[in-house]
Structure formats: C-alpha cells, structure tokens
Structure 1
Amino acid sequence: MKSVLSLQVALFVVIVAALAFLPVFASPYGLTLMIGMLGYVTLATAWALFSGPTRYVSLATVAFFGIGAYTVAVFSESMAYPLLLLVSAAIGLLVASVVGFATLRLAGVYFVIFTFGLAELIRQLVTWYEVNMTGTLGRYIFLPVTPEGIYWQLLGLAAITFAISWGVGRSRIGLALKVIGDDEVVAAHCGINVARVKLALFAVSSTIITLVGAIQAPRWTYVEPVIAFNPTVSFLTLIMALLGGANRLTGPLLGAVPLFLLFEWLSANFPNHYSIILGLLFIAIVFILPRGVLAFAEENWKRWRRHEVKTVPGVAE
C-alpha cells in the first residue's frame, strides 16, 4: 500500500514538473490557451471538492471568481502583488463563511437558486458602487506579472487543489461528506456535525476559486463587473465537473480539458450560436452522463465483464 502511494506521489510530482516547463516551448497563443485551461481545471476541481460528495449544486463560482479579480483591480496600485493574493483569499474566505453559515441549511433547488442569485447580487452591488461612488464602471490593472508567471501560479494552485482533494477523499472528513451526500439525517444521527463539515469544505473550495480569479485578473488589463462576474464561468465549471465526474479525483480534469478546447473552438467558429450550443451540451450531459464519464465507463466495463462471464461455457451466472 505504501509503495503504491509513493508511486502515485512520485508520478504526480513528475507530471507537475513537466507541466512547469511547457511555457518555455509554447507560443504566445499556446501559453494563453494553457492558462485558460489550467484556470478551469482548478475551478472544476475546487467546485467538485465541495459539491461532488455533498451533491450541492453551486452556481456561485463566478461570485468568488469575480471577488478575487475585482479585489486585485481595486488594490493593485496600493499593495504588493503577494499581499494582493492574500487579501483576495481572506475576502473570499470571509464571504464564503458568512454565506455558507447563512445558506448551507438550504438544499436541492433552493440552494441552486440562491447561489445563482448570490452571483448576480454581488455583480449588481459592485456595479452600483462603481457608478455611484467612484464615477466609473471599470478599473485598469497594471501589474508586472507575465503570462508565464500567471501560468506557474495557476499550476501551483491546481497542484495544491488536487492535493487537498486527494487528502480530503482519504480522510474522515471525506467519509463524512459522502454520508452527508447520501442522507444528512443519517449523518447527523451518526454524530457528524453536518453544518461544520459543509461550511469548512465550502469555505476551502470558495477560497481556491477566489484565488483563481485573483491570479488571472492581470491578464485582462481592464476589469469591469460584466467581465469579472460573467455567469458563463459558473456554468462552464459545472458542466466540466459533471462531465468528468464530480465525485472522482480526476473527474474534473477529464471534463475540463476537452470541454475547454471544444468551447474555444466553438466560440471562435460559432460566436453567434455559442450560448445555444452550450445550453444543448449541458442538457445532453445531464441526461446522458449524469454521473460523469468515469462512472459511465466503469458501469459499462462491469456490464461487459458480466456478459463475458455469461458467454464462457460452463460458467454459472
């Protein structure tokens, strides 16, 4: 068991190290593509960290992503860049703690509606503040951060997110989350502090998402609420996590990479029909692959193996 674990860790380190060298050989467009892909891989993995085991479908991804981006925009001229990231993470953690404490008692469609409304509420509040208090609608970001620096930061954050997800899955809190996802009443009777466990994972997940927005903010140079709080971010993250399998460690990765490339191609070739295609794809994934690609492949493998056993002469069912 320890040898297998050591092999997994070594393989993970080798993959991360190899990815760290990619910017040296990539073209400017390729680097931009990898930054976007890494961003969504991290978002989908962070989303699945909480929503995967608990089955709470959150559409608040863009709320925290936008908080991170706008925090960098507001304080970029008065703080050093490392401090900007720390402040962004602290604000994301604070907002997630307040929101989680007030709303994680909701479930089902009520939680989905609230999280979607939260993102829109924050966008409207930021817009109102900018227009009425500062007299403008957007802010410029001039930071000495190169595309390579953004890529390496996102790669480090993605690696940390995977490590957290892996650690949670093997811990008692991971088991508690699975019980909560199956039945919260049973979880409470088992002695699990349901509210505390959900709040802790929601806060960690939201803080990571906030950092993704903060790290990517310098890419835009100019940020306004419509850009930072674009609801498409929430829906893309959700689709990617669901496609790969939100309750599997590598599920979000398997969903994020191909879908990001597909969305890039669609937005470039079908800009007027992009939203329609996105909606149809989302419906198709929910109906055809509700548990993700990994679960679908596993189920079909087991079905094929049972069929093979049945067709072997002399083997009883």
Structure 2
Amino acid sequence: MGLHRNEMVVAAFGLAAVALLSLLPLVSEGFALSLGVNLMLYAAMCTAWALFSGPTRLVSLASAAFFGVGTYSVALGLDSLPFGALLLVAALSSAALAGLVGAATLRLSGVYFVIFSLGLAELIRQIVAWSQSRFAHKMGLYVFTDLTERDLYWMLLALTSLVFVVGWLINRSRLGFALRIIGDDETVARHVGIATARTKIILFMISGAFIGIAGAISAPRYAYIEPQAAFNPMISFQVVIIALLGGTRRLWGPLVGVVPFIILMEFITSRFPNHSSVVVGVAFLAIVYLLPDGVTGLLERLRDRILRRAEPGVSSTTRNEIGEKAA
C-alpha cells in the first residue's frame, strides 16, 4: 500500500521534528535536558496509552503497573544482562501482564476493566514490597549504570518515534479497522465477525509493552528503586490527563497535552510540592468538563465552523470530506 501525498508530507515533517529534537542534548544541559527527558517520557507513554484507549474508548489506569514492571526488570537483571536485553525483557513482561489483565477483564463490561486497572499497580506494589521484605530483607534495589541524561533522552525520543510508526501501521491495518468499528459500536463489531476481545487484548499488550520499555529506560534516573516510586498511581493519572488534554482522536493528539502539563507540573512541584495531587485532580475535572474531546477536538470543531461559514452551501458530507483531507 503506497503512501498518499499528505502522508508523505506528514512523514517528512515528523522526520524533521525528530532530527531537530535530537539536537537538544548537544545544545543544552541541566534543567532543560532534565525537562526534555520528562517530556519525552510522557510523550512515549501517553501516545502508547492512546494506541489502546483512543480507538477502544476504554480508560486504562494500568500505566503505573507496566511502568513499574519495566523499572524492576532493569533493577533485577542489571547484573546479569546488558541494558538492551533488559529493555526486551521489560517489553515482554509488561505485554504478558497486559495479556493476563486483558484476558480477565476485557471480555466483561468496560467498568470492570477500569476498576481492575486502577488497582493493578497497587496490587503489584504490595506483592513486590512483601517479596523484598520477606526474602531480600530490604525495600529497594540500586541501579547503577554508565547511562547519562543524554542517553536516556535519545532512547526515549527513539521510543516515541517507534510508538508513532507502530501506531501508523496499526491504523492502516485490518487490526486498526477492527478497532475503529469496536470503538463505534462493539455489538455491531461482534455481529460482523470481529473477535472483539482478542483484538482489544492484542492492542492492550502492545500498549503495555511500550509503557514497560519507557519504565525500563527511566530506571537509571532513580538510582535506588522502591515499590512506592516504581508503582506510583500518580503516573497512571498523569498519563490519562495528558492524553485527554491533547485528545485521543488523532495519534499525535497526546503530544499537544504533554508540553503544557509537564511544564505546569514542574512549576507546581517546585513551588507547592505538597499540593501536586490536588492540581492533578482539578486538572482532570477541568479537562472532562471543559475539553471532553481535548485540544485537538476543539481545533477540529473550530475548523468545521470556519468551513461552514466559508461555504454555507456545501453539504455536511462534503464538509466532512474536506475536513478529512485537511487532517
């Protein structure tokens, strides 16, 4: 299947953006580079989250669980395997966990999935904490590597780019087509012969694998990994809020929410470290009520309004076709 002209333009723009972003560690260090690492981390995780939750419209709160599995994959295996192999271990472990959770919950109502995904990180955190105190007689693990902030930034940038490529391929595949039908009406999808549970489980595993890799890449930043930090539920909520802020209709939508939210959280945590959870809660409520479709959804509505005013005689079908070409 060949590329359309618009897709070639978008691909060229994306390559140019990646090339430009890759220069950041060469021109800046310190706080700017640390901020860049945080931006790339959440860009990768939020886009991976949107791979599953965008088309299926199921809110997953399991990001902290996959992130923690990734960090502990590195912490436990650093003395035995090279870092590159540990990234693969993190991906496989997180994908396996996503497969188990998906098989247990995605066949049921979406409410059960949301509730179980919310408690998954806490469940694993308690198991890890008990295991470490019972068998290792300690609550954390040291992670010492030669990797610098530059290395982590470049790896996270590569991961974000890979998530976009995989997402683009999925959108053009039969899997992506099936997911769009499931998102519109799951009952109709089942009636036309789509294996809805298996399709959702596969995509959930892909999403979880990417988030697990993000956690593995972030492990060297901790130096000392504890269950409370690795499986912090705030990670899940921040991923959801950022993705919803940007919008999940488009694959690039979460990127729109990453920059303003991460910068705001950096400001809040530095000035009001004890009130960051309150800010997250208020931000979630504000986004749900004021921007239910995110910033990208708002921009699309404004675009449609401009098109209606510019060509009042054009039918709604024609306007939709124009909007799709513009997007």
TM-score (normalised: structure 2): 0.91
Deviation at 1:79, TM superposition (A): 1.6
Q: Mean Cα displacement is larger for which, 150-159 or 273-282?
A: 273-282
Aligned to 1:218: 220
Aligned to 2:149: 147
Alignment partners' CA distance in 2, 1:180 and 1:148: 41
The SS at the match of 1:272 is helix
Aligned to 1:279: 281
Alignment partners' CA distance in 2, 1:284 and 1:142: 40
Q: Mean Cα displacement is larger for which, 163-172 or 148-157?
A: 163-172
Aligned to 2:73: 71
The count of aligned residue pairs is: 311
Alignment partners' CA distance in 2, 1:296 and 1:4: 22
Q: Mean Cα displacement is larger for which, 42-51 or 81-90?
A: 81-90
1:136-285 → structure 2 map (5 Å cutoff):
136-285=138-287
Alignment partners' CA distance in 1, 2:156 and 2:217: 7
Alignment partners' CA distance in 2, 1:107 and 1:52: 17
Alignment partners' CA distance in 1, 2:97 and 2:4: 39
For the aligned residue pairs, the C-alpha RMSD in angstroms reads: 1.6
Deviation at 1:71, TM superposition (A): 1.2
The SS at the match of 1:273 is helix
Q: Mean Cα displacement is larger for which, 248-257 or 297-306?
A: 297-306
Amino acid at match of 1:92: S
Q: Mean Cα displacement is larger for which, 254-263 or 231-240?
A: 254-263
Q: Mean Cα displacement is larger for which, 104-113 or 212-221?
A: 104-113
Residue by residue over 1:34-56, the C-alpha shift from the partner in whole angstroms, topping out at 9 and shown as x without a partner, is 00110000110000000011011
The SS at the match of 1:299 is helix
Alignment partners' CA distance in 1, 2:279 and 2:201: 35
Q: Does the 8 Å CA contact 1:56/1:107 hold for their aligned counterparts?
A: no
Aligned to 2:294: 292
Alignment partners' CA distance in 1, 2:213 and 2:287: 28
Deviation at 1:199, TM superposition (A): 1.0
Q: Does the 8 Å CA contact 2:48/2:163 hold for their aligned counterparts?
A: yes
Aligned to 2:123: 121
Alignment partners' CA distance in 2, 1:302 and 1:85: 43
Q: Does the 8 Å CA contact 1:123/1:229 hold for their aligned counterparts?
A: yes
Deviation at 1:304, TM superposition (A): 4.3
Alignment partners' CA distance in 2, 1:9 and 1:90: 29
Alignment partners' CA distance in 2, 1:99 and 1:210: 15
Aligned to 2:132: 130
Equivalent residue for 2:104, pick from 87, 102, 105: 102
Alignment partners' CA distance in 2, 1:299 and 1:281: 22
